[in-house]
Chains A and B, each alone.
Chain A
Amino acid sequence: MIETVVHAPEELQKEPAHHEPEHHPASFWSRYVFSTDHKMIAMQYCVTSIVMVIVGGFLAYVFRWQLAHPGVPVPLFGKIDPNIYNTFVTMHGTIMIFWVAMPLLLAAFGNFLIPPMIGTRDMAFPTLNMLSYWTFFISTVLLLASFFVPGGAFGGGWTAYPPLSADAYARTDFWHGLGGDLWILAVALEFVAFLMGGINFLVTTISMRAPGLTWMRLPMVVWMIVIATLIFMFSVGPLIAGAVMLLLDRVAGTGFYNPATGGDPIMFQHFFWFFGHPEVYVILLPTLGFLAEIFTTFSRKPLFGYKMILTSTWVAAGLSFIVWAHHQFIAGIDPRMSTFFSITTILISVPFAVIIFSLMATLFQGQIELPTPMLFALGVVAEFLIGGVTGIYLGASAFDIYAHDTYFVVAHFHYTLIPVVIFGGAAAIYYWYPKFVGRMLDERLGKIHFWGTAVFFNMIFLPLFWTGMMGQHRRIFSYEAFPSLNTPLAHNLQVVATTGLILMALFQIPFLINLVRSARHGRPAGRNPWKANSLEWACESPPPHGNFPTQPEVYRWPYEYGMPDSAQDFRPQWEACP
Chain B
Amino acid sequence: MNQEHDYHGHPNYVLTWAGLVALLVVSLAAASMGHKGLALLVIFGIAAIKAGMVVANFMHLRYEPRLMLGIVIFGLFVGLAFFLGVYPDIVPIPAVLAR
User: Among the listed stretches B14-22, B34-42, B44-52, B90-98, which one makes contact with chain A, having 4 or more residues with CB under 8 Å of it?
Assistant: B90-98
Residue from B6, B74, B81, B88 in contact with A337 in the complex, judged by beta carbons closer than 8 Å: B88
Residues in A with CB closer than 8 Å to B85 are 270, 274, 322, 324-325, 337
- Is B7 engaged at the interface, CB distance under 8 Å to the other chain? no
29 contacts between A and B (CB under 8 A): A3-B5, A4-B2, A4-B3, A7-B1, A234-B74, A237-B75, A238-B79, A238-B82, A259-B95, A259-B99, A262-B98, A264-B90, A264-B95, A265-B98, A267-B86, A270-B82, A270-B85, A270-B86, A274-B85, A322-B85, A324-B85, A331-B99, A332-B89, A332-B99, A333-B88, A334-B88, A336-B88, A337-B85, A337-B88
Tier of interface size on chain A: 20 to 34
- List 6 other contacts, CB 8 Å, given A3-B2, A4-B1: A4-B2, A264-B89, A266-B98, A270-B89, A322-B85, A337-B85
Bound complex: CA A501 to CA B22 (Å): 68
Set of chain B residues within 8 Å of A238, measured between Cβ atoms: 78-79, 82
Q: Report the Cα distance A320→B88, complex, angstroms.
A: 20
Whether B6 pairs with A262 at a CB distance below 8 angstroms is no
B78-A337 in contact (CB<8A): no
Q: Is the CB of B6 within 8 A of A1?
A: yes
* B5: A residues at CB distance < 8 A: 1, 3
Contact call A237/B78, Cβ cutoff below 8 A: yes
Q: List the B side residues contacting A262 at CB < 8 Å.
A: 95, 98
What's the minimum C-beta distance from A279 to chain B, rounded to whole angstroms?
Answer: 14
**Minimum CB distance partner of B75 in chain A:** A234
Would you give the shortest CB distance from B36 to chain A, in whole angstroms?
A: 21
Whether A235 sits at the interface, judged by CB under 8 Å, is: yes
> What is the bound-complex CA distance between A535 and B88, given in angstroms?
50
Closest to B67 in A: A206
Cβ-neighbour of A274 out of B82, B93, B98 (below 8 A): B82
Please state if A263 and B1 are interface contacts (CB–CB under 8 Å).
no
- In the bound complex, residues from chain B placing their C-beta under 8 Å from that of A267 are 86, 90
What residue of chain A has the Cβ atom nearest to residue B96's Cβ? A259
A contact residues around B3 at 8 Å (CB): 1, 4
Q: Find chain B residues with CB under 8 A from A237 CB.
A: 75, 78
A2 and chain B: residue at smallest CB distance = B5
**Of the candidates B1, B78, B99, which one forms a contact with A3 in the assembled complex, judged by CB atoms under 8 Å apart?**
B1
Q: Which of A318-363 contact B (CB under 8 A)?
A: 321-322, 324-325, 331-334, 336-337
CB distance from B10 to the nearest CB of A (A): 15
Which residues of the partner chain A approach B79 to less than 8 Å between Cβ atoms?
238
Q: Closest 8 CB pairs between A and B?
A: A334-B88, A259-B98, A3-B1, A264-B98, A270-B86, A262-B95, A234-B78, A333-B89
- A334→B85 CA distance, assembly (Å): 10
Which residue of the partner chain B has the closest CB to A278? B78
The residue in chain A whose Cβ has the minimal distance to the Cβ of B6 is A1
Bound form: Cα–Cα A150–B82 in Å: 37
For the complex formed, measure the closest distance between the CB of A195 and the CB atoms of chain B, giving whole angstroms. Answer: 13
* Residues in chain A within 8 A of chain B (CB atoms): 1, 3-4, 7, 234-235, 237-238, 259, 262-267, 270, 274, 321-322, 324-325, 331-334, 336-337
What CA separation (Å) do A264 and B88 show in the bound complex? Answer: 13
A235 contacts which chain B residues (CB < 8 A)?
Answer: 78
* In the complex, chain B residues whose CB is within 8 Å of the CB of A234: 74-75, 78
CB distance from A120 to the nearest CB of B (A): 15
- CB-contacts of B50-99 with A (<8 A): 74-75, 78-79, 81-82, 85-86, 88-90, 93, 95, 98-99
Q: How far is the CB of A164 from chain B (nearest CB, A)?
A: 13
- Chain B residues with CB under 8 A of A7: 1
Contacts of A331 in B (CB 8 A): 99
Known: A4-B1, A4-B2, A259-B95. A321 touches B89 (CB 8 A): no
One of A266, A274, A321 near B90 (C-beta < 8 A): A266
Q: What separation, in Å, do the CA atoms of A333 and B90 have in the docked complex?
A: 9
A270 contacts across to B, CB distance below 8 A: 82, 85-86, 89
Q: Is the CB of B98 within 8 A of A263?
A: yes
Task: Give the shortest distance, in Å, between B38 (CB) and chain A (any CB).
Answer: 27
Q: A331 — nearest CB in chain B belongs to which residue?
A: B99
Residue of B nearest to A235 (CB): B78
Residues of B close to A265: CB separation below 8 A? 98-99
Q: How far is the CA of A490 from the CA of B82 in the complex (A)?
A: 40
Chain A residues closer than 8 Å to B95, beta-carbon distance? 259, 262, 264
A337 to B89, CA, bound (A): 9
- Distance in angstroms from A334 CB to nearest chain B CB is 4
Instruction: Give the contacting residue for A321; candidates B2, B78, B93; CB below 8 A.
Output: B78
CB neighbours (8 Å) of A334 from chain B are 88-89
Q: Which residues of A contact B88 (CB under 8 A)?
A: 333-334, 336-337
B5 CB to nearest chain A CB (Å) = 6
| With known contacts A234-B75, A334-B88, A336-B88, A264–B1 Cβ distance under 8 A | no
Report the separation of the CA atoms of residues A356 and B30 in the bound assembly, to the nearest whole angstrom: 56
Are A321 and B81 in contact, with the CB atoms below 8 A?
A: yes
Distance between Cα atoms of A322 and B83 in the complex (Å): 11
Contacts of B98 in A (CB 8 A): 259, 262-266
- For residue A247, give the distance in angstroms from its CB to the closest CB of chain B: 20
